[in-house]
Structure 1
Amino acid sequence: MRHLLGLLFLLTIAFTSCEGRKTQRQALSESIEEFKKTVHFETNVYIPETYLEQDVDTLMSNGFRVKIKTYADMSNAVRFSKIKDTINYQTYYRNFKFDISVTKDDKVIYNESFNKKKVNKAFNYNGNLVSGSDLHHFDRLAVLKSIQVNDDPSYTNMVLIDIMYAIPETDRYAIHRMFIDNRGKSNIVQVEVK
């Protein structure tokens, strides 16, 4: 009987001393999860970081002179967010404006300025395109990647300018070619979309 009372006493002590406390490891991991839910850090990155401007002046063998000026639109950017380890990374890709001026025989035959809104209209980037379309979201997310004079010698009476827009952080892009004839009339054709 004495052994039975001793066993009963030990079981009573064992059950009453276990109050369901957490181990230090469990407490630390729950504390970290709670911290992640309540504390948010945000970091903002702008690409390009500051105002950027570039001028290109090209004199072609067919007598045309092409001036292209590109410059960062400091009030218009595309934002991409990514959360990693409680830090919200906000990356802003600035849109670019560009001016194209073409002269022939010292006479300006074409002079236009383009911003994102005008590009959307000229390149048919619009919000009505269905998901899965090649140009879906180009109206909101695409930024100017490159613009350059195409020096194809077979075009003697016109200027060709290749313009590439791309969606940052993806492999999606669209290349358009602008044709400007010797009277200053322009036409834009989609060349490639990926």
Structure 2
Amino acid sequence: MKNLILLFIITIAFASCENRRTQSQALSESIEEFKKTVNFESNVFIPENYIEREVDTLMSNGYRVKIKTYSDMTNTVLFSKIKDTINYQTHYRNFKFDIRVEKQGQLIYEESFDKDKANKLFGYRDDFITESPLHNFNKLAVLQSIQVDDEPTLKNKVLIDVRYTIPETNRFALHTLYVNDNGTINMVHATQN
């Protein structure tokens, strides 16, 4: 009888220990299960609100250049990072820009650009190979700066420097637009990284 009671106690002890977890293991498993079922999103827009900037430059060679840049509130580039259970989504707004050039009070060039029109002007396409410095510029690049280059030696041209960058990277492309005295625009791809 003594052996039977001992056998019964050992059986219950082994049966009750089967698949048991420590509190730490149970907590870890519970956290992992929670991470699989719950997702939080953090959406950030850069810039957060509408921005508009207008620069009016009267140059020494008789040209007047007006450049207006403004945030495109419906067109963004999205970058996502998932850390723990949070999906950090950063939306970088694209910018539109208007260029108006006058010489001696006469309008010689006026044009408005959005992302698609800028892609055509700067030659950003979706068929660049991965190793190309301009790969994905058509989708991911946003306008970083646009400014008049007041080169005093130029008498019959206006130079406008335009820089596009891919956010969260060190990739950029710098272009120079030449507007000559009859209103023709030419683009030179200056540098890229």
**TM interval, short-chain normalised:** over 0.9
Task: State the number of aligned residues.
Answer: 192
SS in 1 for 2:18: coil
* 2:72 corresponds to 1:76: no
SS in 2 for 1:27: helix
Q: Counterpart in 1 of 2:149?
A: 150
If the length of structure 1 is used for normalisation, what is the TM-score? 0.93
SS in 1 for 2:124: coil
Cα distance between partner residues in 2 of 1:16 and 1:166: 64
Cα distance between partner residues in 2 of 1:20 and 1:75: 55
* 2:19 corresponds to 1:44: no
Cα distance between partner residues in 2 of 1:55 and 1:38: 48
Per the TM alignment, residue 16 of structure 1 is displaced from its structure 2 partner at its CA by: 3.6
Cα offsets for 1:35-69 (capped at 9, x unmatched): 00000111111111111000000011111110000
Per the TM alignment, residue 13 of structure 1 is displaced from its structure 2 partner at its CA by: 5.5
Per the TM alignment, residue 71 of structure 1 is displaced from its structure 2 partner at its CA by: 0.4
Cα distance between partner residues in 2 of 1:15 and 1:77: 61
Cα distance between partner residues in 1 of 2:117 and 2:15: 76
* 2:187 corresponds to 1:188: yes
Q: Counterpart in 1 of 2:159?
A: 160
Cα distance between partner residues in 1 of 2:26 and 2:6: 33
Q: Which structure 1 residue ranges, 5 or more long, are not aligned?
A: none
For residue 92 of structure 1, what is the amino acid of its counterpart?
H
Matches for 1:55-134 after TM superposition, within 5 Å: 55-134=54-133
For residue 27 of structure 1, what is the amino acid of its counterpart?
A
Q: Which structure 2 residue ranges, 5 or more long, are not aligned?
A: none
For residue 188 of structure 2, what is the amino acid of its counterpart?
V
Per the TM alignment, residue 157 of structure 1 is displaced from its structure 2 partner at its CA by: 1.2
Cα distance between partner residues in 2 of 1:24 and 1:114: 61
Q: Counterpart in 2 of 1:177?
A: 176
Per the TM alignment, residue 156 of structure 1 is displaced from its structure 2 partner at its CA by: 1.6
Per the TM alignment, residue 17 of structure 1 is displaced from its structure 2 partner at its CA by: 3.9
Cα offsets for 1:75-122 (capped at 9, x unmatched): 111111111110111111010000000111100111011111111101
Identical aligned pairs, as a percentage? 62
Cα distance between partner residues in 2 of 1:166 and 1:32: 39
For residue 72 of structure 1, what is the amino acid of its counterpart?
S
Cα offsets for 1:130-173 (capped at 9, x unmatched): 11111000000000000000112121211000000000011000
If the length of structure 2 is used for normalisation, what is the TM-score? 0.94
| Alignment root-mean-square deviation, CA | 1.7
Per the TM alignment, residue 20 of structure 1 is displaced from its structure 2 partner at its CA by: 2.3
